[in-house]
Amino acid sequence: MQVTTKDVIEKFNLTLVSGHDGVGRYITTSDISRPGLEMAGYFTHYPANRVQLIGKTELSFFEMLPTELKKERMFKLCSQDTPAIVVSRNLDVPEELIVASNENNVPVLTTTMQTTRFSSRLTNFLESKLAPVTAVHGVLVDVYGIGVLIIGKSGVGKSETALELVKKGHRLVADDCVEIRQEAENLLIGSPPPLLEHLLEIRGIGIIDIMTLFGASAIRPYKRVTLIIELENWNPDKTYDRLGLDEEKMKIIDTEITKLTIPVQPGRNVSVIIEVAAMNYRLKKMGVNAAQEFSRRLDEVISIHELEDY
């Protein structure tokens, strides 16, 4: 997704002081620069493609410079690649910066927020907007606080299972198409496309609005993807995991997520199985692994019988 300086102005209610013709510039990185070294004249490694954030420290040093150096530094600061320069704490913008920004069409903005607070909020906003995105065919449901992504072939019963989970009090995030963003290392956030928000498609009935039918508590706008469950039609020739000792993974963008495969056949209550899978996953993260405990007990029994036979 692309982010422009105008998007940042609207998001944080910033005041545009100068460089009006540059508000359409694209911001390509979530990194923010505080140009202290540049104010001192060191532009060798100037990260011009970042938003430049000027606070009280930078301005107080700038005021100590001779007039000619002030002009030179500000013209270098306003490069052709600089998306915007933000002055925090609603401090007065130096006239030299206004002149340079108008000449090079670099937007100069002001905010009432403190420098570090604005830097943190802007970084979070940009990381969210500029994060790698992919779309996955499936259903994302919040089950006991675990973001469960249900995948499988068309017609296997993903949406019907999600509907049953919603009836049990769990929350729907997205149906059919799940947009997934990698907002940080090992952090995948799933959300619905705007067109499909709150909607669920049930074959034979059509599209239903979950929020209208079950209330606002039945949906949520986004959720971290923690567990993937693949539904597949029961294959009698396939051997399914009966202990849970082997953990399968599925990679989405740059993150590997635990994946379980659940065979579907008449008589199996898939929604209950998914509830148990979510609770069991949470227990494993807390250090309680039933499969490993069973394996340990089995090893003990085998060892005892071996000693008796000996």
**Phi, psi at residue 130, to the nearest 5°?**
-100, 5
What does 178-225 look like in DSSP terms, one character per residue?
EEEEEEETTEEEEE--GGGTTEEEETTTEEEEHHHHH-GGGB-S-EE-
Active site residue 220: no
The binding site for Mg(2+) comprises 159, 201
In the set 92, 242, 251, 309, the catalytic residue is: 242
Strand partners, 15: 110
Active site residue 34: no
In the set 56, 117, 137, 268, the catalytic residue is: 137
- CA-CA-CA-CA torsion for 196, 198, 203, 204, nearest 10 degrees? -120
Active site residue 282: no
- How far, in Å, are 57, 130, 252 from residue 41 at the CA level? 15, 31, 44
Sign of torsion, CA 223 224 227 230? positive
Active site residue 129: no
In the set 176, 224, 282, 284, the catalytic residue is: 176
State the Cα–Cα distance between residues 70 and 64, nearest whole angstrom. Answer: 9
State the Cα–Cα distance between residues 77 and 259, nearest whole angstrom. Answer: 49
- How far, in Å, are 77, 243, 288, 294 from residue 299 at the CA level? 69, 14, 18, 9
Two structure tokens written together for 279? 């609770």
Q: Which residues are catalytic?
A: 137, 158, 176, 242
